[in-house]
Chain A
């Protein structure tokens, strides 16, 4: 006898969570399918961590529903903890664990049998290129390696949902790529990955779909391309102003602008590209700017338009300046 396979999508419906006077989540609804890498983007304090803490059963919502397959995760937080793995934003408490021990114990706590966990631990250590620190105590690990060990801990025996809160913080660029490959493989194994980040450039490359959250509300949801669709036909002209120069008068074809430090980000129509280059060259000629770049609009532009969060701007694609 075979039962119909349950639909293991994670469904969040009309979720409301209040902390005293503050509404941290204000009617959020979203669905994450098995195998999908789903990004939650938003500035600090947007309500992302509050949302995932309700998914994993650490907080109870004031209203709304969270279900995973046949399970009601609000009514049954024990099921939530068994079915969801969680990598928090803070570092793991593994100062007195050797890396491999931390991965093994967590994998077995999560229900893996010893042989499977050890095999998977060895695979992850290899895949994340952290073999050098296999027997090193957590207290002696750098922040980035400790982060990768944390990732291996929660995915040695992953649940149906894996929640990763800023997984690449402190991780070096080369190992970031390895980490994203492993995240993709979780998806390939049918796991729903919920990725919390405020690093937009990184999210754009790593996620299948994403939601932009600000002040507890879901502002937009879709694939990175669908979210950028509204900006089609526009280009981004980035001008590095000379230090201590005031923002110059903007010509009429500039449709929008943000300035962070010396970095002036403007949006122009594709048809105005030639004028835009001319203007930028003129600024350099006058000594007001040092260089410029013209390119396609990115998810970052969409994100800033939606949230007004300019902190996310100006990070390089590896996010080395990302806030901790």
Chain B
């Protein structure tokens, strides 16, 4: 004989409710990706390490400065591609399969759903970052200078990368459009942003634009945590990156709060 407990009359609130919801949503996200989790991590590791090694295949003798740029830049690429590309594509899939409504009808604070997704990105991105760095050190004999500053740099990079993707995915209604934009983003990240090479390699106007876009600051903050004397004015990078993070949170909150 089944009988549900009488329904609750009191609304849940406060820190306990927030923390419980965060843990449950993290469990939901990780379980949702269970079948692709291992393969995603492996792909991240292989692309990260592969990118580092491919450089020497292209150029034979890689100048130390270029090796340093690519080896530190590729870490950023591994950290942000999931949040910026895979994340929006998952949301697009939820919209196309009409499972989006169920997920958004769950009684959790919206911030816990977002932070659970950021945490998932961190879990997925860190192994790839670690391996790519290890491979780079072995292959190019890099002169790294790792400081505690790598921690906030990685956290802020993952947070902002994930939240920009989140805002993008939730603002756009059309799943096809989301897929198209994220495909283009990959192209921009790898080929046309000063992540794997210095900004002075780009045309002036594009370099100027990147001063205000979040990609270059991600590379600068992470690089500043791993090297010495390579990155100038890292404080400005933190500010730009933080501003993008906050703006994405604002856009996400506005879009999700609008309710059609």
Contact = CB atoms under 8 A, between A and B. Distances in A.
Interface of A: 6, 8, 53, 56-60, 69, 71, 77-79, 81-84, 86-93, 95-97, 101, 105-106, 108-112, 116, 120, 123-124, 126-127, 139, 155, 157-160, 182, 185-186, 188-191
B2 A93 contact: no
Interface stretch (B29-37, B61-69, B72-80, B199-207): B29-37
A182 B2 CA distance: 8
A105 B34 contact: no
27 contacts: A53-B101, A56-B105, A57-B259, A58-B105, A58-B260, A60-B258, A69-B9, A82-B12, A90-B99, A93-B97, A93-B102, A96-B36, A97-B32, A97-B34, A101-B31, A105-B24, A109-B21, A109-B25, A109-B28, A109-B108, A110-B106, A111-B12, A111-B107, A120-B5, A159-B107, A185-B4, A190-B7
Q: Chain B: interface secondary structure?
A: loop
Interface string B152-176: 0000000000000000000000000
A185 B21 CA distance: 28
A155 B5 CA distance: 10
A6 B34 CA distance: 43
B2 A58 contact: no
B99 A120 contact: no
Contacts of B12: 82, 111
A315 B41 CA distance: 49
Contacts of B97: 90-91, 93
Contacts of A81: 105-107
A69, A81, A109 pick with most chain B CB within 10 angstroms: A109
B8 interface: yes
Contact of B7 (A53, A120, A127, A160): A160
A87 B258 CA distance: 22
B57 interface: no
B28 A91 contact: no
